[in-house]
Structure formats: C-alpha cells, structure tokens
Chain A
Amino acid sequence: MKNENLYKYILGIADNSLILGQRLGELCGHGPNLETDIALTNINLDLIGQARSYYQYAAKLYGDNKQEDDIAFLRLEREYRNLLLVEQPNTHFGYVMARQFLFDIYHYLLMENLQHSKDETLVAIAKKGIKEVSYHKRFSSDWIKRLGDGTEESHAKVQEAINNLWRFTDEMFYLTEADKAVVDAGIGVDVSNLKETYYKKVSEVLTEATLQIPENKYFTKGGKEGLHTEHMGYILADLQYMQKTFPNMTW
C-alpha cells in the first residue's frame, strides 16, 4: 500500500462512526419512547453513512480490489482503531446520551478542522458530515441538560454516567505514529490542539445541566492502537456474524 499512514488515519476516524453506529443500532426498537428510538437510529444512520464514505476511500487507497465491506467487517479486533468511549455498552438512556454527548462534542471539533485538510476527499466527507454532527450534538446536549436538570433520579444517573465515561475522554487527543505523519503532511487534524476547547465546551453544557465536572485525572486509552476493552469482542461477534457465516455475502 502506498499510503499506509493515511489508510490507518482514515480508519481511526471511520471506526468511531461504525462502532458507535452499531451501538445505537442495538437500540433500534428499544428506545425509551418512539421519538427517542427514531432519533437514535437516525443518528446511527448518519454515522454508518459517514463510515461508508471513509471506508470507500480507504478501500481505494488499499487497492488490490479491496471493498468497503471487507474493511468494515473482516478485520481482527486489534485492527479496529476506534476510541474506547464509543464501544462502551448501552445501559440506561442517560448513559447512552452521556456517551453520545462526550463523543459529539469531539466529533464536531474534528469535522470542523478536517474541513481544512489538504485531502479533498476528506474535506468533502467532513463538509457533509459536519451538518449532521451539529444536529447530533444539539440533540445529545439538550438531553444532558434535560436529564441533569431534571428529577433527582435522572440527575444522579446522568452524573454517574458522565463520571464513569470521563476516563475515556483523554484518548481523543492522543496521536498514533500514523496520525502524526498524516498531520505533518497537512492532511490530518492535530487533535492534541482540540483538548482545551473540548473540555471548555463540555463543561459549559454540564454546568448548564447542573452537573459536576468530574475531577478524575485517571485516564485510560488504547483503542487508537487497537487495544480495546472487553466489550469490543462482543460487538464484533455481532457485527461480523453474517460475513463469517456466509463469507462474501452481499445484500
């Protein structure tokens, strides 16, 4: 492959959309009410759509007649480069919204900056995606405020979710060796620069939601290097089931 670093870089972005999309897809028909159920699957659809655009591009870079589905479905766990945050399992709705909110703020900043990449395909995907992501961000931020500033129970539950997921946020700003090379080439986004803005934006919403900003300084990472939490294997078992059962099947 001519541009292995760029290939890896693209997967680092695409896999977040795929895995979070898969998590939201699990909730289809299980949302707390019809409107939120539809909202979660709508967001899922946007994310899977974005992932497809990235995988199509990655497949082209890979050459060798590689297809988007091969990349989405036929990799080993260690080859997926998504953040640990997005693979965390669905528990209650407040937790799902906390995970979504922590990701959406980051996703928006990433798309905003990716629009200035030197790579025109990535610019096109980012320009399309940012319109969708800004809508996701609005939805999850609204829910954080509503639940945080809601009943005693919703407040406690969403606070606990934020506290629990906080340890996965620092990984967003970590650069792998491949990422660094792509940033140096003027194509990738130097995510380490987004950290300050990210925590500022997150804190603004949490404050408005009457929630505490966690003081936890212990962070865990590994997803971007392919080292995942124990939940990842279960997601892949589900995601890859059809391709493993009926190799090369198409819809």
Chain B
Amino acid sequence: MTILLAPNIDRSLVPILETVSDPEIPVLTVLDLGVVREAVKRNGKVYIKLTPTYSGCPAMDVIGDDLKAAFANHGLKAEVELILTPAWSTDWMSEAGKRKMEAYGIAAPLEETADKAVLLGNAKLVKCTNCGSKNTRLVSQFGSTACKALFQCDDCQEPFDYFKCLK
C-alpha cells in the first residue's frame, strides 16, 4: 500500500474529475472534497484511488460509479480503487469548496480546537449560514450524513448543518 501525502493527479484528467460531484453535497466536486488521492493514465486507461470521508459513507459507491461513467463518456476506461490510508481529513477540502459549501447552507469545518469547543463545550463559533450570526448552538452531534452535525441559529432561528472537522 502506498502512502499518499499529496494527491497525485494527472492535470489532463482534472476537467473530467471536476464534473463528478458528491451526491449528498452536489455543489462540491470530488476534487473539492479531497477524496481523489490519485488519478493517473497508463496505457490508455485511468487509474483512480479514492478514499472515504467516513468508513460507512454510502456516497463512496456512487462516486466510484459516477467517476467510471464520467470517463466512459470521454471514451476512457477507469478503474477505481478504494484506499483507507492515509485517512481522510477535512484539511484536504479546498478553500473554494468550503466557500461553495457555505453558500449552499452548510457551515464549513472550523479548525480542530474550535471544532472541539463547539461540539463538546457550548462555544459559539459556528457562523449561521443564513444570517451570519455566531449566536448558534449545537442541536445534535450527528446530522443528516456521517460528516455533519446539526446546529441552530438563536438569532434567525434557522437550523443548519455543520461539517465536522476530522483529523
């Protein structure tokens, strides 16, 4: 098993990779999410290494199939391998991805210490995606998908998802 510290992605494949998005958060491409750890072309075939956000993330199977379909549309056969190491971290999400996520209504992950303070303590650090207030509180440590927690804004009352920091 090879340890990949920085994704080894063939630049010529980026335009196709960018067309595949997370089925749960459609505004994020697989590159924004940082789940593609390798994408290379060898002998006319594409080899992709994909890492899950969470072990049981059901989106992974869909993403794998979507990647194969996207390359098939360009006449390329793609092989997708699921790798577990090194384990995915929210640090691998792109800044552009985080901004798109916020605009979509999901608060982007805070850095580790702040994340602990909001999920374990009652710190008010997560910004409401609706009104921008930080007068927000944790409703549930678990949200609509494995990667999110549920928050509510005490100013505008809007409930929203927060993407948990994972390191």
Q: Which residues of A contact B (CB under 8 A)?
A: 35-36, 38-39, 42-50, 52-53, 120-121, 123-125, 127-129, 131-132, 135, 138-139
> 8 Å CB contacts to A: which residues of B1-27?
1
A128 & B84 in contact (Cβ 8 Å cutoff): yes
Q: How far is the CB of A237 from chain B (nearest CB, A)?
A: 23
For A121, what are the chain B residues with a Cβ–Cβ distance below 8 Å?
1
B55 & A127 in contact (Cβ 8 Å cutoff): no
- B56, B85, B87, B142: the one contacting A49 at CB < 8 Å is B56
B55 & A52 in contact (Cβ 8 Å cutoff): yes
Q: How far is the CB of A151 from chain B (nearest CB, A)?
A: 21
Tell me if B80 counts as interface (CB < 8 A to partner A). no
Contact flags (1/0) for B123-156 with A, using CB distance below 8 Å? 0000000000000000111111010001000000
Bound form: Cα–Cα A70–B83 in Å: 22
For B84, what are the chain A residues with a Cβ–Cβ distance below 8 Å?
53, 124-125, 127-128
Q: Which interface class (under 10, 10 to 19, 20 to 34, 35 or more) fits B?
A: 20 to 34
- A44, A49, A139: the one contacting B52 at CB < 8 Å is A49
Known: A121-B1, A123-B85. A138 touches B52 (CB 8 A): no
For A120, what are the chain B residues with a Cβ–Cβ distance below 8 Å?
1, 85
Bound form: Cα–Cα A221–B78 in Å: 48
B141 & A138 in contact (Cβ 8 Å cutoff): yes
Leading 8 A-B pairs by shortest Cβ distance: A49-B56, A49-B55, A35-B140, A124-B85, A45-B56, A39-B142, A124-B84, A42-B142
Tell me if B62 counts as interface (CB < 8 A to partner A). no
Bound form: Cα–Cα A128–B146 in Å: 13
Bound form: Cα–Cα A139–B57 in Å: 19
Bound form: Cα–Cα A232–B142 in Å: 29
Q: How far is the CB of B89 from chain A (nearest CB, A)?
A: 9
Of B1, B54, B56, B85, which is in contact with the most chain A CB atoms at under 10 Å from its CB?
B56
Bound form: Cα–Cα A138–B120 in Å: 9
Bound form: Cα–Cα A162–B146 in Å: 28
Q: Which residue of A lies closest to B143 (CB)?
A: A38
Q: Which residue of B lies closest to A21 (CB)?
A: B56
Known: A35-B142, A138-B120. A46 touches B87 (CB 8 A): no
Q: Which residue of B lies closest to A35 (CB)?
A: B140
Bound form: Cα–Cα A42–B144 in Å: 8
For B143, what are the chain A residues with a Cβ–Cβ distance below 8 Å?
38, 42
Bound form: Cα–Cα A37–B141 in Å: 12
For A129, what are the chain B residues with a Cβ–Cβ distance below 8 Å?
55
A49 & B57 in contact (Cβ 8 Å cutoff): yes
Q: How far is the CB of B83 from chain A (nearest CB, A)?
A: 8
B140 & A39 in contact (Cβ 8 Å cutoff): yes
For B146, what are the chain A residues with a Cβ–Cβ distance below 8 Å?
42, 45-46, 132
Bound form: Cα–Cα A120–B141 in Å: 31
Bound form: Cα–Cα A52–B84 in Å: 12
16 contacts between A and B (CB under 8 A): A35-B142, A38-B143, A45-B54, A45-B56, A49-B54, A49-B55, A49-B57, A50-B55, A52-B55, A52-B56, A53-B55, A121-B1, A124-B1, A127-B85, A128-B84, A131-B166
- B57, B87, B144, B150: the one contacting A131 at CB < 8 Å is B87
Tell me if B58 counts as interface (CB < 8 A to partner A). yes
Of B52, B86, B140, which is in contact with the most chain A CB atoms at under 10 Å from its CB?
B140
For B87, what are the chain A residues with a Cβ–Cβ distance below 8 Å?
124, 127-128, 131
For A52, what are the chain B residues with a Cβ–Cβ distance below 8 Å?
55-56
Q: How far is the CB of A124 from chain B (nearest CB, A)?
A: 4
Contact flags (1/0) for B113-129 with A, using CB distance below 8 Å? 00000001000000000
B1 & A45 in contact (Cβ 8 Å cutoff): no
Bound form: Cα–Cα A135–B55 in Å: 13
Q: How far is the CB of B163 from chain A (nearest CB, A)?
A: 14
For A35, what are the chain B residues with a Cβ–Cβ distance below 8 Å?
139-140, 142, 150
